[in-house]
Amino acid sequence: SGLKIALASSSPMDLIEATIDALSLTGLFEAVLSAEHLRYGKPHPEVYINAADALGVKPQHCVAFEDSVNGLLAAKAAQMKGIAVPDAAFSQDPRWAIADCKLSSLHEVNPELLAQL
């Protein structure tokens, strides 16, 4: 697919690494970043800006997938496109309106969708 993939989370790095291992996702990401040691976590955009830098890509050319409103705010503040994938219990929150796209599942992601962004 030629896409560079980073993981940018507010969770502690130990938890991120344990989750990656538990889900057998090791090696999928070119960069894995945590906001745990940054001055501000999400909704501050720093962790997303750092992820774009780690990939060597301008934030404006990135797409962030988010399941939290604060994460989506961070992505938009970093000038990234934002795809919301909220938990069904929170999917009607009007704040998701800032997303470029809202999905009910990551299974809905396809090359055509990404090209439209």
Q: What is the pTM of this model?
A: 0.92
Domain with 32 in it = 6-116
- Total residues found in the chain within this entry: 117
pLDDT digits (tens, 9 = 90+) for 57-103: 999 999 999 999 999 999 999 999 999 999 999 999 999 999 999 99
Number of domains in the chain: 1
For residue 79, is it within any domain? yes
pLDDT of residue 1: 63
Q: Region 25-39: what's the mean pLDDT?
A: 97
Cβ(38)–Cβ(45) under 8 Å? no
pLDDT of residue 2: 83
Q: Region 4-8: what's the mean pLDDT?
A: 97
Cβ(66)–Cβ(83) under 8 Å? yes
For residue 54, is it within any domain? yes
Cβ(85)–Cβ(65) under 8 Å? yes
DSSP string, 33-56: EESTTSSS-TTSSHHHHHHHHHHT
pLDDT digits (tens, 9 = 90+) for 36-56: 999 999 999 999 999 999 999
State the CATH number of the domain containing residue 13: 3.40.50.1000
26 has pLDDT over 70: yes
For residue 1, is it within any domain? no
